[in-house]
Amino acid sequence: MTIVEKAKRTIERHKMLLRGDTLLVGVSGGPDSIALLYLLMDIRDECGFALRVAHLNHGFRKEAAGEAEFVGKVAASLGLPVSIRSIDVPSIMEMEGLSAQEAARDVRYAFFEEEAREAGARRVALAHTADDQAETVLMRLLRGSGPLGLSGIPPVRGIFVRPLIECTRKEIEDYLYERNIPFVTDSSNLKMDYMRNRVRMELLPFLESYNPNIRKVLSRAAEIAHIDNQFIEIESDKFYLEKMVRDSEQQDNITIEMDGFKELHQAISSRVIRKAIMVVKGDLKRISFQHISDILGLINTGEGRWSLHLPDVTVSREHDRLIFNREKGRR
């Protein structure tokens, strides 16, 4: 199976696109995103979708301006509309106290969402590969993630789709070489002070000495975990929607009726708690497995009242209800 056929199969399997869609493609200029763009051009007419290109200069590297110019020229050569923007991510890092990776990711996804709205694009295609999947699963395993984290990078999340998620980096490199397609190299991908780069260049090659197919194994494990997590999410959504009582339109607090809560399997009850925290807090940053375990432990110890302070959220039990309140001034 060629890489084009594999990408097309992934698109069809996960229902990423509909005929008549406009698809915004995030293109950095690196090999993965350039391959994604050309692959989508290969199947555009057959599948009946329109393409647009978006590129973001994060402001970290001097060579980034040249990469933006390169992407603009590629889009022009393919006859595609392109949007190129520069955002001072280092300043956002400093103001919001985020790491470089966190700030870049937040800004990048917000940029793509805005561009998709303005362009009328129903989907945004990103160039994550099977190798990225393997690296992500291994990194999360090293950090102690549970099944949700070990499900890795989802093929579809909201408006974002990843047609190359089942394609290897070797397949992408071969495709670019055979077609003589130019791309640029991001120098930061070679810096060993980033954990992902150390995993890619040191740990995975070491593990391949034990199992030459380790990347495929990790990607398959992520797919299995993703399927299992989808089922758990469906079941936890049922209970959440049945027992949740919204106390304010602003979603500053959520109340969950406790009837039947203790009888839930922990895989479901923990997701219900995470879901309520996500709604009132807006994210799950700094919410750990231990926080969820502490809440479940208090639920199971008795019927009395108690309160537990988590980052930005207070969780309380009052009689037969579990109450989640966002702390004032937080969002």
pLDDT at residue 73 greater than cutoff 50? yes
Residue 156: how many other CB atoms lie within 10 Å: 14
Are residue 128 and residue 253 in the same domain, yes or no?
no
In this structure, is residue 234 part of a structural domain?
A: no
- pLDDT band with cut points at 50, 70 and 90 for residue 6: very high
Are residue 260 and residue 126 in the same domain, yes or no?
no
**Range 153-165 average pLDDT:** 96
In this structure, is residue 22 part of a structural domain?
A: yes
Its domain, for residue 293, covers: 247-326
Please, what is the average pLDDT of the chain? 89
Share of the chain above pLDDT 90, in %: 60
Are residue 133 and residue 264 in the same domain, yes or no?
no
- pLDDT band with cut points at 50, 70 and 90 for residue 114: very high
In this structure, is residue 166 part of a structural domain?
A: yes
In the beta sheet, which residues pair with residue 307?
316
**Range 284-313 average pLDDT:** 85
Q: Which of 170, 190, 225 is the last residue of a domain?
A: 225
Q: Assign residue 147 the CATH number of its domain.
A: 3.40.50.620
Are residue 73 and residue 128 in the same domain, yes or no?
yes
Q: Assign residue 263 the CATH number of its domain.
A: 3.30.465.60
pTM reported for the whole predicted model: 0.86
Cα–Cα separations (whole angstroms), residue 24 to 5, 18, 50, 55, 160: 21, 13, 9, 10, 9
In the beta sheet, which residues pair with residue 245?
255
Share of the chain above pLDDT 70, in %: 94
In this structure, is residue 301 part of a structural domain?
A: yes
Q: Per residue in 199-244, pLDDT tens?
A: 999 999 999 999 999 999 999 999 999 999 999 999 999 998 888 8
C-alpha–C-alpha distance, residues 33 and 31, integer Å: 6
In this structure, is residue 238 part of a structural domain?
A: no
- Please tell me the predicted confidence (pLDDT) of residue 95: 81
In this structure, is residue 86 part of a structural domain?
A: yes
- Please tell me the predicted confidence (pLDDT) of residue 331: 47
Residue 244: how many other CB atoms lie within 10 Å: 17
Are residue 85 and residue 212 in the same domain, yes or no?
yes
In this structure, is residue 235 part of a structural domain?
A: no
In this structure, is residue 233 part of a structural domain?
A: no
Are residue 190 and residue 298 in the same domain, yes or no?
no
- Please tell me the predicted confidence (pLDDT) of residue 288: 86
* Tally of structural domains, the chain: 2
- Please tell me the predicted confidence (pLDDT) of residue 263: 86
Are residue 143 and residue 52 in the same domain, yes or no?
yes
Q: Per residue in 255-285, pLDDT tens?
A: 888 888 888 899 999 999 999 999 888 888 8
- Please tell me the predicted confidence (pLDDT) of residue 321: 86
Are residue 190 and residue 287 in the same domain, yes or no?
no
**Range 100-125 average pLDDT:** 93
Q: What token pair was written down for 210?
A: 């034990």
pLDDT at residue 304 greater than cutoff 80? no
Are residue 13 and residue 45 in the same domain, yes or no?
yes
Sequence-separated (6 or more) residues with CB below 8 Å from residue 191: 197
Query: What letter represents residue 209's amino acid?
Result: S
Q: Per residue in 27-46, pLDDT tens?
A: 999 999 999 999 999 999 99
C-alpha–C-alpha distance, residues 262 and 275, integer Å: 17
- pLDDT band with cut points at 50, 70 and 90 for residue 148: confident
Are residue 211 and residue 261 in the same domain, yes or no?
no
**Range 312-328 average pLDDT:** 86
Are residue 165 and residue 313 in the same domain, yes or no?
no
